[in-house]
């Protein structure tokens, strides 16, 4: 487990003294590193035995406990560290999120679920942010179809 980091740049499974690859949006810019977007300076992360890194960012809006879960499938020291390529975003909510999930307790869903497939695919292309790639994979039956951009 890694505690809340000292900076957003060190937000996922950061180990002092190791070369750390910065995280970016799919389009390569760093706008998703702003506090409260893809990675936040609040939250904790854990390195799994297989090298993957999981980060939990909590937030509360209007009394509803919510947050996001980021999964870097190959960890912060390998791969691209790009949302939509090797990092995928999920949302968490304890109550009705307003997107038809009901009031039956806690839910973890891909971020941007509920968008049309065309819009998910557009966000998952190189010029997009990559936040919708997990939702695209889920909407396609947990597979990467032939038109998946990566």
Region 60-81 average pLDDT: 76
pTM for the model stands at 0.79
Domain boundaries, given as residue ranges, for the chain: 8-139
pLDDT at 5: 67
pLDDT in tens, 95-127: 555 544 445 556 677 777 677 899 999 888 888
Which phi and psi (to 5°) does residue 12 adopt?
-125, 110
pLDDT in tens, 12-46: 887 777 887 777 888 887 776 565 555 665 678 88
pLDDT at 14: 78
* E strand or H helix at 60: strand 53-61
pLDDT at 100: 44
- Minimum mean pLDDT range among 71-75, 101-105, 135-139: 101-105
pLDDT score of 52 more than 90? yes
Exposed / middle / buried, residue 104 (Cβ in 10 Å: 0-12, 13-18, 19+): exposed
Closest to 15 measured CA to CA, from 46, 42, 37: 46
Q: How many CA atoms lie within 13 A of 120 on its CB side?
A: 21
């Amino acid at each position: 487990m890694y505690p809340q980091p000292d900076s957003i740049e060190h937000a996922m499974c950061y180990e002092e003294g190791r070369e750390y690859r910065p995280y970016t949006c799919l389009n390569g810019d760093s706008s998703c590193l702003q506090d409260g977007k893809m990675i936040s300076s609040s939250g904790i992360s854990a390195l799994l035995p297989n090298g993957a890194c999981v980060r939990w960012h909590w937030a509360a809006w209007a009394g509803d406990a919510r947050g996001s879960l980021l999964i870097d499938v190959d960890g912060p020291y390998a791969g691209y560290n790009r949302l939509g390529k090797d990092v995928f975003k999920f949302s968490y909510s304890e109550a009705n999120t307003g997107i038809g999930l009901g009031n039956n307790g806690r839910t973890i869903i891909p971020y941007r679920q509920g968008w049309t497939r065309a819009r998910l695919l557009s966000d998952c292309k190189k010029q997009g942010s990559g936040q919708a790639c997990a939702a695209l994979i889920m909407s396609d039956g947990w597979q990467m179809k032939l038109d998946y951009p990566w």
